[in-house]
């Protein structure tokens, strides 16, 4: 089947570019479009309690609304000493959705007296593929690291300025986009999704 259309549940152009490149590298001839291509489809409330549940909610809603296979992802920062928090609440940890600076400041304040050896954390991403017939698959990716005491770097977004990946001396915000994509939780999840797309969409 040529030119199967696949919809990615995002209005973030960077995510679309990233997944498009991964599908192309996997030699999949698929037309990938973002949610912007369907402006009438409402955003889905993320009521799940795991990254996988939220990703599936978004993917199924988009597949049902458009009649095309859909991919959605949900991701966040999981801090060991906080029992995995902020987790699914990463984007609204300080109370307002998407206030990166407030989220960062609050998390650093909560961890201010935590010693370096107890500052392990990871970024997690679940990517879900849903077909209009209800078929679903979820894959996950992780980026392990430790949390710095002060932010460093101007790249990326969210908690990137404080997570230093394992084996790195720089934070995620100090890596180039290509360096980050090569090791990121989302990059890993999207790459794991490519064979699933091949299997289900041919």
Q: What is the mean pLDDT of each run of 10 residues along the chain (202 residues)?
A: 80 86 88 93 91 97 96 96 97 91 96 97 98 97 98 92 98 93 93 94 81
d(CA 149, CA 25) in angstroms, rounded, equals 37
Q: Taking the model in full, what pTM does it have?
A: 0.92
The three-class DSSP label of residue 161 is coil
Task: Please check whether residue 131 is in contact with residue 153, taking contact to mean a CB–CB distance below 8 angstroms.
Answer: no
Q: Distance (Å, rounded) from C-alpha 114 to C-alpha 108?
A: 10
Q: What would the two tokens of residue 85 be?
A: 């928090």
Domain residues of the chain, as ranges?
4-201
- 80 assigned to active site: no
Which CATH class, in words, describes the domain spanning 4-201? alpha beta
Span 154-173, pLDDT tens digits: 988 899 999 999 999 999 99
**The one catalytic residue among 29, 36, 74, 113:** 74
Task: Please state the separation of Cα 102 from the chain's center in Å.
Answer: 20
Residues 6 or more apart whose CB falls under 8 angstroms from that of 24 comprise none
Residue 14 has what pLDDT?
81
DSSP H stretches of helix in 2-88: 13-25, 51-66
């Amino acid at each position: 089947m040529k030119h199967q259309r696949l919809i990615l549940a995002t209005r973030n152009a960077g995510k679309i570019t990233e997944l498009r490149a991964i599908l192309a590298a996997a030699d999949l001839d698929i037309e990938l479009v973002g949610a912007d291509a369907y402006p009438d489809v409402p955003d889905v409330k993320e009521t799940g309690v795991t990254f996988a549940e939220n990703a599936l909610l978004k993917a199924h809603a988009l597949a049902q609304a458009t009649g095309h296979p859909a991919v959605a992802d949900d991701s966040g920062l999981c801090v060991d000493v906080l029992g995995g928090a902020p987790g699914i609440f990463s984007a609204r940890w300080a109370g307002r959705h998407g206030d990166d600076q407030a989220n960062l400041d609050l998390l650093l304040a909560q961890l201010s007296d935590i010693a370096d050896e107890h500052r392990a954390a990871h970024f997690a991403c679940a990517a879900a593929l849903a077909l209009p017939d209800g078929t679903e698959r979820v894959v996950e990716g992780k980026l392990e690291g430790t949390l710095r005491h002060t932010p460093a770097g101007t790249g990326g977004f969210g908690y990137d300025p404080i997570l230093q990946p394992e084996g790195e001396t720089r934070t995620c915000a100090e890596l180039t986009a290509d360096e980050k994509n090569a090791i990121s939780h989302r990059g890993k999840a999207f790459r794991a999704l490519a064979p699933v797309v091949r299997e289900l969409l041919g």
